[in-house]
Structure 1
Amino acid sequence: MSQRTWFITGISSGFGRRMAERLLGSGARVTGTVRDTGSVKDLQARHGDRLTVHRLDLTDGAEAITAVVDAAFAAAGHIDVVVNNAGYGLFGAVEELTDEQIVHQIDTNLLGSIRVVRAALPHLRAQGTGRILQVSTYGGQATNPGASVYSAGKWGIEGFTEATALDVAPFGIGVTIVEPGSAGTGFRTGGARLAEPLAAYDGTPAALVRRIKDPSLPSVGDVDKMVAAMIASVDQEQAPRRLALGSDSYRHMHDALTTRLSELEKGKDTAFSTDLTQAD
């Protein structure tokens, strides 16, 4: 771990912050992005030139993202692991969300992550080695009421990441989708954004999401154990395609996949009946 160099988006809080702290504490070198450089002054003071910080918002666009990624590789010479961590949650029924909110969510969680990977791939290919960790959520495989647009971004990034893993495997690049469950990262209480409620949804399942910022809601996962598992996954000779973290993540994903497979099997006869036949 101490000999690797890492590039991590969003190190000011949450998983990104904990990961940066753990890696720097072990002697690794980290380049991290934040929207406010003042949020990591304490880390810079403690770790000196082993931490490089760039100001970046994933909605800044492809040119800005590419410039930061290029600068990181140029300064480090070699980056072993790229962690797509930055993002936030937007919750509410789709009718309750504004177009601006929807665009910003997709621009951050989906397009921003795609642009980071696109910018990093030429460097990783030239190295002939590297790992990409895409931080998602169990919500990339299982849906909840009031999370339609958040789920759209996460399902999208998981599809992109899974296909990209196939594209880049010949170049020695491993890709892992990280799917945490609930954990005390501040994601809910700090970073989550809520729609302006419509009375029509009062008392419906979608309205339950309005409690997401309630600090009394329990979390299942241990943040430090989750971060340790993410870091340890890089040591696996073959990158795991998915890394479920937390028993709630496993249960939600298992239930969702089991239901989807059952529904698919029910439609098997219809699916096969629509094939071309020799008579056609």
Structure 2
Amino acid sequence: MPKTWFITGASSGFGRELTELLLHRGDRVAATIRKPDALQDLAEKYDERLWVAVLDVTHGEGVRHVVNRAFAELKQIDVVVSNAGYALFGAAEEVSDVQIERQIDTNLLGSIRLARAAIPHLRQQGGGRIIQISSSVGQAAYPTMGVYAATKWGIEGFFEGTIPEIAPFGIEVTLVEPGASRTNFASSSADAGQILPVYDRTPAGDFRRMAASAGLAMFPGDPRKLASAIIASADQTPAPKRLTLGSDAYALVHAALTERLAILENQKALAHSTDVEIQGAT
């Protein structure tokens, strides 16, 4: 049965791939973009099945207005995809305050704004699905990607707390953790700090050189395949809490979780030793 989807950041990357695939299979899409006419080709082809609105997720009132209008005009939205975001590259002291604030405002606060605007509607209609595009960097981070990783760790923490709050209303959430894929993520849509020569012979410099020399090999993910997997997840019941996509994502996340679990196990005795002692306990 056809679904109705709401997708932010639909003009490029995963948002565009999702929108194209969904329209092609017969679903209805409410797509938000930042530049008018970015989806004109799809609007001409699919007409009434594509609902389009201009949206900047850094504007709280604008997010609420567009979400309210979409639910009012489309009557029901089955899946909300929080996809708007971009990359910021640079060591901690290379990126500016303005860049950091804009990154957090878009990737983290923008995603929270969207969820808060959509949840009341999903609750009132008896349920639905939220798909949050996170990243494998939401479980582990590379040098020069600390601020970007902070936004992804942050949104995962937000949903860890929010998922049990909204589960009684039939609202499910999937955190999508893709690896590097061949979108415009690391090129036209990205931002970067001012490179400082002092980092040239550090892990930050090593990562930059590796990324520059690796070329497409650093981006094994097929955006169309990833988008297809995301769409398929919306039909899974119960919803997968996390969806790790890409061989590089699997390797990175597996290594990070294995290391963290080993560290935690080694600290078990220390952790227990810091509890309050109960008098008379045997």
Task: Give TM class, smaller chain.
Answer: over 0.9
Matched residue, 1:230: 230
**C-alpha separation in 2, matches of 1:157 and 1:122:** 19
**C-alpha separation in 2, matches of 1:208 and 1:107:** 29
**C-alpha separation in 2, matches of 1:226 and 1:213:** 24
Which 10-residue stretch deviates more, 162-171 or 73-82? 162-171
**C-alpha separation in 2, matches of 1:163 and 1:157:** 10
Q: CA deviation at 1:161?
A: 1.4
Which 10-residue stretch deviates more, 72-81 or 190-199? 190-199
| Residues 55 and 213 of structure 1: CA distance in aligned 2, closer, same or farther (over 3 Å) | farther
Query: In the alignment, is residue 104 of structure 1 matched against residue 102 of structure 2?
Result: yes
Q: Which amino acid aligns with 1:27?
A: G
Q: Which amino acid aligns with 2:73?
A: A
Matched residue, 1:114: 112
Q: Which amino acid aligns with 1:252?
A: L
Q: 2:193 aligns with which of 192, 195, 199?
A: 195
Q: Which amino acid aligns with 1:258?
A: T
Q: How does 1:86-235 map to 2 (within 5 A)?
A: 86-210=84-208, 212=211, 216-218=215-217, 219-235=219-235
Q: CA deviation at 1:103?
A: 0.2
* Cα RMSD (Å): 1.5
Report if aligned partners of 1:134, 1:177 keep a CA contact under 8 Å in 2.
Answer: yes
Q: Which amino acid aligns with 2:173?
A: V
Matched residue, 1:259: 259
Q: TM-score, normalised by structure 2?
A: 0.95
SS in 2 for 1:19: helix
Deviations 1:25-79 (A, max 9, x none): 111110011110222111111111111111111112x111100100010010000
Query: In the alignment, is residue 33 of structure 1 matched against residue 32 of structure 2?
Result: yes
| Structure 1 stretches lacking a partner, 5+ long | none
SS in 2 for 1:190: coil
Report if aligned partners of 1:190, 1:213 keep a CA contact under 8 Å in 2.
Answer: no
Matched residue, 2:72: 74
Q: CA deviation at 1:215?
A: 8.4
| Residues 38 and 208 of structure 1: CA distance in aligned 2, closer, same or farther (over 3 Å) | farther
| Residues 89 and 169 of structure 1: CA distance in aligned 2, closer, same or farther (over 3 Å) | same
| Residues 214 and 109 of structure 1: CA distance in aligned 2, closer, same or farther (over 3 Å) | farther
Q: Which amino acid aligns with 2:41?
A: D
Report if aligned partners of 1:23, 1:29 keep a CA contact under 8 Å in 2.
Answer: yes
Report if aligned partners of 1:83, 1:134 keep a CA contact under 8 Å in 2.
Answer: yes
**C-alpha separation in 2, matches of 1:158 and 1:215:** 29
SS in 2 for 1:94: coil
Report if aligned partners of 1:12, 1:40 keep a CA contact under 8 Å in 2.
Answer: yes
Query: In the alignment, is residue 279 of structure 1 matched against residue 240 of structure 2?
Result: no
Q: CA deviation at 1:214?
A: 7.2
Q: TM-score, normalised by structure 1?
A: 0.96
**C-alpha separation in 1, matches of 2:214 and 2:73:** 41
Q: Which amino acid aligns with 2:234?
A: V
Q: Which amino acid aligns with 1:23?
A: L
Matched residue, 1:5: 4
Moved over 6 A (4+): none
Q: CA deviation at 1:263?
A: 0.8
Deviations 1:54-112 (A, max 9, x none): 1111112x111100100010010000000000100101111001000000000000000
Q: CA deviation at 1:140?
A: 0.2
SS in 2 for 1:255: helix
SS in 1 for 2:220: coil
SS in 2 for 1:240: coil
| Residues 215 and 27 of structure 1: CA distance in aligned 2, closer, same or farther (over 3 Å) | farther
